[in-house]
Amino acid sequence: MRKIAVLLSFLLTFQALSGGAVQAAYVGENYISSAGACVMDFDTGEVLYEYNGNVLRVPASMTKMMNVYCIYESLAAGEITLDTVVPISQNVYDKSRDAVYQSVLPLYYNTTYTVDEMLDVIVVYSASAAAIAMAELLGDGSEAVFVEKMNQKAAEMGLNAYYYDSCGIADNEISPISMASLARNLIRDYPDILNRSAQKAVVFHGNTYQTTNHLLDTYYYEGADGLKTGTTPAAGYCFCGTAVRNGRRMISVTMQSSSTGQRFVDTARLLDYGFSIANEKYGSIYFTDMRVFINNAEIPAFSYNGAEPHAVIVAEDLQNYGFDVRYDAETETLHIVYHPDKHFSPIPMDYYRGKNGQKAFTLAPSSNISVLVNDGAEVFELQDVYDVDGYMCISVDEFQKIYDFIWKEEENAAYITTYYKSPKAILPNGKKLTSESAYIMDFQTGDAIYEFEGEIQKPVASIAKMMSVYVMLDAVQDGEISLDTVVPISENVYNLSRMEDYKMMVPLYYDEKYTVDEMLDMIVIDSAAACVTAVAELIAGSEVEFVKRMNAKAAEIGIQSVFYNGTGVCLNPEIEKENLMSAQEVAVMTKKMIEDYPEILERTKCASVDFHGQTYYNLNKMFTDYYYEGADGFKNGMTDASGYCMCGTAVLDGKRVITVTLPSASNDARFTDTAKMFDYGFAVLGVQTVGLQEKTEMEPFFQEEDDIKINIDGNYEMSFPDQQPMIVNNRAMIPIRALMETLGKTVDWNDEDQSVTIRDETVQVNLCLENTTMVKETKNPLTDVVSREDITLEVAPIMVNDRVLLPVRAVVEAFGAAVIWEEDTQTILIIAGVC
């Protein structure tokens, strides 16, 4: 098996420096491999366990935690903002390509990077060059000046720590207890760190970088949400982690663990021990022998330490049992709604088992928060509730007035049977829909063929983009702009186009030329939210002013819909509000728009669109995966608030119907619901239909590329003597065995079923020729539980000259590595760092 020279050198050096010299340590009865470790209670700062806790050791990239603290401090002082542009010096440019400066992440002179972006890749991906760039920004061009600030801050905090660089490549020094104290200060003073460190991946200028903290994925530990790993030959494998359970947070540090995986095992054992000790020391909510079942699935139950002990459950836990739980800060109200179609994922009871009467967690002072439970027909306000470290605990007895409730004395258990009283839509032909509201319109007359709660306004997610498009087409017709008008990219749009929550994420660039015509295609076909904002700013100066036109347009066409943004994406529900439309109003808008601008259908029926070198596929699957004869639009949408929405239209024998479902039970259900509605609508109009048909396939476009280079960690360039990489439908396909074995993976070919299996210790993926579904299985070494994920590939594996070619990005990212395409050098850069 071929190995990467630089990685092999690193491993040999690491073994020479760290192997075999560490004395065994135990936390409780469990072995940990760490040479130094501790676990600290966040609330009190008390060290609940330590092993060589005050001995100075090399922290590697955990150094970046002090770097990040100083960045946040500068933000708080107003010296910089999240939008401040970070310059790239020659020093940073070079180090961003040097494998010594883990993790490799190439930075460029002519690209704009913001502080916000740099924070994400420093915290999530441990990008050392990004940390140095921030150090130069805040150190007046000098990393050394910034490092002095880091040492001053360490002294102010009373830490036993000494820093020689800003990113952890140098042999900095800190003790485990001081590292935990630094983490406590960072979380306490700048809690935004947890929003960043809890991310499993971050998208940075069009590329996805996976977290180095594998307690969030492979070694999943319930409640884990940060903080930072570190690895160098001198440091060994280090990790400062944090997790919260039942409202109590622990911070753990492990330094010089025996392997990259063992540091997460050590951390889990440290955190477990910390939580168990904290349960004994703090709190007035207790473990109980009473048990509670919701629809026969057990939910963790506790006992409130009152005069009459009774079972209580944590409201947030109901999210695993078919409920939506949402807190409205403006009204200080916790809303709980049961959804019968929501997936059940009961909480493992082992996490909550404790000795009867043992303290579980602390009871906070009484709160003014109201708790409302909606059963679909009536709203109940609960009275017997408790504020527990920011979580709401509910007396189980409260559910007796809402649902079927049985107490079985012999089992000491309560059985609750939940239900949602509001019926789902049923078509007159007996076909059942999963939709909460539905509408079918005869396009010619505008009459309703069928409606179910069609006048109730609901959040509509990206369906709102069609009102934006309507206003944009008005602007074209009125001569304000033309389809060829160039759309400028503001800093706001640039940032939004890279924000993962701003669906759909299509990175836009300052130096690219985008036309209104292109933007309309991307809005309609790929639902690109930033494209909406860009055109909105072009037309009205700001999205806020553009939304006023949307509301005016709604009034003009006679609907009462209310719009607060142009995209359907509500970034901050506590400040912004959701766009609201009824199913009937969506149908009216669609009819008016098609009448005014029939050419819109030429866009909505396109299966894909090419946009600046990338192919984007239509999210409306009614003419691909769920092919329906005559379907030619219109728009779907999905957010947490809206659910899976769909507005569809189809024409047969010259008759058109418009259907709306707000929302359906799932992504698949919105398309099957739409097909049923099409069938019924056309039947009423006297048109015969054939229903859903088999998925259509597009002919692949093949192009062999002799020029494509594959480079690993900036140090090892692969060669392919037997079969060159190829481009298939604009996706890079490469001979997979050589690459994956170079990355240390095992590759097996099964000739019988024409499948490839690639695996390492924790991850296995399976792909079949000409099949666009890749199966990924991940084994959690902490629990031996194997999770399965079906990943849809844009291009299926192929066989060329007896060599199997696989889509490189999908396969490599499945194993946690990052893939970067460098256009100038025609290089696929694979970053497989171990930090």
Instruction: Residue 826: give the domain boundaries.
Output: 702-831
CB 438 within 8 A of CB 356: no
Catalytic site includes residue 126: yes
With cut-offs at 50, 70 and 90, classify the pLDDT of residue 597. very high
User: How buried is residue 37: exposed, middle or buried, by Cβ count under 10 Å (0-12/13-18/19+)?
Assistant: buried
With cut-offs at 50, 70 and 90, classify the pLDDT of residue 715. low
Collapse the DSSP code of 66 into the 3-class scheme (helix H, G, I; strand E, B; otherwise coil) and give the result. helix
**576 and 442 within one domain:** yes
Question: What share of the chain in percent tops pLDDT 90?
Answer: 38
**1 within some domain:** no
Is the per-residue pLDDT at 101 higher than 80?
A: no
Highest mean pLDDT among 270-279, 386-395, 537-546: 537-546
Q: How many domains does the chain have?
A: 4
**555 within some domain:** yes
pLDDT at residue 752, as a whole number:
80
Is the per-residue pLDDT at 21 higher than 50?
A: no
Report residue 353 as tokens: 């088992």
Give CA angle at 230 (153, 76), nearest 5°. Answer: 35
Q: Which of 18, 61, 257, 462 is catalytic?
A: 61
Is the per-residue pLDDT at 26 higher than 70?
A: yes
CA dihedral of 352, 356, 359, 361, whole degrees rounded to 10: 30
**553 within some domain:** yes
CA dihedral of 344, 348, 352, 354, whole degrees rounded to 10: 140
Last residue within a domain, chosen from 693, 728, 759: 693
Query: Of the candidates 472, 582, 598, which has an alpha carbon nearest to the alpha carbon of residue 531?
Result: 472
**658 and 516 within one domain:** yes
Instruction: Give the CATH number for residue 749.
Output: 3.30.457.10
Is the per-residue pLDDT at 689 higher than 90?
A: no
Report residue 478 as tokens: 């009125």
User: How buried is residue 43: exposed, middle or buried, by Cβ count under 10 Å (0-12/13-18/19+)?
Assistant: middle
Q: Which of 18, 33, 34, 64 is catalytic?
A: 64
Give CA angle at 198 (196, 201), nearest 5°. Answer: 80
CB 566 within 8 A of CB 543: yes
**618 within some domain:** yes
Q: What are phi and psi of 490, to 5 degrees?
A: -80, 170
**427 within some domain:** no
Cα distance between residue 510 and residue 497, in whole Å = 11
From start to end of 363-482, where are the E strands? 370-374, 379-382, 385-388, 391-395, 404-408, 413-417, 438-442, 448-452, 458-459
**633 and 610 within one domain:** yes
How many angstroms separate the most distant Cα atoms in the chain?
A: 83
From start to end of 445-587, where are the E strands? 448-452, 458-459, 580-581
Catalytic site includes residue 395: no
Distances (CA, A) of 217 to 214, 516, 790: 5, 41, 16
Q: What residue type is 499 in one-letter code?
A: M
342 is in an annotated binding site: no
- Look at 99-113, 435-449, 577-591, 621-635 and tell me which has the smallest mean pLDDT: 99-113
Instruction: Give the CATH number for residue 665.
Output: 3.40.710.10
210, β-bridge pairs: 201
Cα distance between residue 792 and residue 783, in whole Å = 27
pLDDT at residue 18, as a whole number:
41
**367 and 231 within one domain:** no
Last residue within a domain, chosen from 240, 255, 281: 281
Cα distance between residue 237 and residue 487, in whole Å = 48
Give me the mean pLDDT over the 434-456 stretch: 92
424 or 345, higher pLDDT: 345
Q: Write out pLDDT tens, residues 201-223.
A: 888 887 888 888 888 888 888 88
Q: Write out pLDDT tens, residues 366-386.
A: 456 788 887 766 788 888 887
pLDDT at residue 824, as a whole number:
65
CB 421 within 8 A of CB 436: no
Q: Write out pLDDT tens, residues 149-164.
A: 999 999 999 999 999 9
**317 and 272 within one domain:** no
Give me the mean pLDDT over the 767-787 stretch: 82
**305 and 200 within one domain:** no
Cα distance between residue 342 and residue 702, in whole Å = 41
User: How buried is residue 686: exposed, middle or buried, by Cβ count under 10 Å (0-12/13-18/19+)?
Assistant: exposed
**559 and 444 within one domain:** yes
pLDDT at residue 66, as a whole number:
94
Catalytic site includes residue 437: no
pLDDT at residue 160, as a whole number:
92
Q: How many CA atoms lie within 13 A of 320 on its CB side?
A: 15
**271 and 148 within one domain:** yes
Q: Write out pLDDT tens, residues 121-175.
A: 999 998 889 999 999 999 999 999 999 999 999 999 999 999 999 988 899 999 9
Last residue within a domain, chosen from 637, 658, 693: 693
Give me the mean pLDDT over the 528-555 stretch: 94
pLDDT at residue 165, as a whole number:
93
pTM exceeds 0.75, yes or no: no
CB 539 within 8 A of CB 558: no
Q: What are phi and psi of 280, to 5 degrees?
A: -80, -30
CB 116 within 8 A of CB 123: no
pLDDT at residue 284, as a whole number:
63
pLDDT at residue 19, as a whole number:
41
**138 and 239 within one domain:** yes
Give me the mean pLDDT over the 697-719 stretch: 57
371, β-bridge pairs: 334, 382
**424 within some domain:** no
Q: What residue type is 737 in one-letter code?
A: R
Q: Write out pLDDT tens, residues 788-831.
A: 888 887 778 887 777 778 777 788 888 877 777 776 677 777 77
Distances (CA, A) of 157 to 54, 71, 135, 164, 688: 15, 16, 20, 18, 77
**457 and 404 within one domain:** no
CB 508 within 8 A of CB 530: yes
Give me the mean pLDDT over the 307-334 stretch: 82
**711 and 686 within one domain:** no
Give me the mean pLDDT over the 689-717 stretch: 58
Is the per-residue pLDDT at 736 higher than 50?
A: yes
**3 within some domain:** no
729 or 343, higher pLDDT: 343
Q: Can you tell me which residue has the tokens 């997610």?
A: 461
Q: Which of 18, 96, 126, 664 is catalytic?
A: 126
**329 within some domain:** yes
pLDDT at residue 444, as a whole number:
95
**743 and 644 within one domain:** no
